[in-house]
Amino acid sequence: MDNKTEHQNPDLSVVIPCYNEMQILYQSIFLLTEFLDHTNLTYELILIDDFSIDGTRQEIPKIAEKYPQIRYYLHEKNLGRGGTVSEGIRLAKSDIVGYLDIDLEIPQWYILPAYLMLQKGADMVMANRIDYKLHLKIFMRWITSKGYNILTRRILGVTFTDTEAGFKFFKKEKILPVLDEIEDNGWFWDTEIVIRSFYKGLKIGDLPSLFIKNPEKTSTVNVFRDSVDYFKKLLKFRKKARILKRNSQD
């Protein structure tokens, strides 16, 4: 549903992919709007529910009634996080658009520096997570994440240290041609969009960002299962990355 927004040409569009977010939905939207309302930016939030089964899709229209900045869309089948973000980027009304995970484990206040980096010449800005506090579960995710990023650099020939972070902002006109080539609609979308953007010559800014675990959020990530899936997709993408690299050098 494309409900009326407060600004038809906002300074900023923020895509919020949602899947089973009832634990944190209301609090996160409140924190996002409270922060953005204190900037000088006009903005829209694009909430897209990816066929949640916990009541999230029933609550999103109620939230949108309270916030004129919100547009929302409800999937009739599960598309995947990456495909959902791609859809939101295409729907954005602003020339600067991005997304962050609704758990706000990369906090909302990093939106403003990302916006300013894009204004100053970057085509894409991605978070580079710094863990604020480690406990065993986060430590295991940190270990697998670091291992994944080492393999990403070695296998795909890039220097980025956190391609899969759930926080990326773009100049819309620059990222749309890249979106047309993306093949993965799941979690590997994050790595694929970075690599394809890099070899297309986009200027990519790195934004050091605190990673603060949200205690209210039950993670849907299975560390070992999802890590294995990431590594398989990484190896499968290696050949394509080599072709992208050669094409960029021609």
Q: Is residue 3 part of a domain?
A: no
Q: Is residue 6 part of a domain?
A: no
Q: Is residue 197 part of a domain?
A: yes
Please give the sequence-ordered ranges of beta strands (E in DSSP) within 39-108, or none if there are none: 43-49, 70-74, 96-100
Average pLDDT for 69-91: 97
What is the spatial distance between Cα 89 and Cα 36, in angstroms, rounded to a whole number?
Answer: 19
The domain spanning residue 126 has which CATH number?
3.90.550.10
Q: Percentage helix, strand, coil, to 5, in the chain?
A: 45, 20, 35
Q: Which residues pair with 47 in a beta bridge?
A: 16, 72
Identity (one letter) of the amino acid at 12?
L
Quote the number of domains for the chain. 1
pLDDT digits (tens, 9 = 90+) for 25-36: 999 999 999 999
Q: Give the pLDDT confidence score for residue 155 in this predicted structure.
A: 65
Residue numbers of the domain that contains 73: 12-249
Extract the tokens encoding 77: 């089948």
Q: Is residue 60 part of a domain?
A: yes
Dihedral, CA of residue 137, residue 19, residue 169 and residue 33, to nearest 10: -100
Q: Is residue 79 part of a domain?
A: yes
- Predicted TM-score (pTM) of the model is 0.87
Q: Provide the 3-class DSSP secondary structure of residue 141.
A: helix
Q: Is residue 132 part of a domain?
A: yes
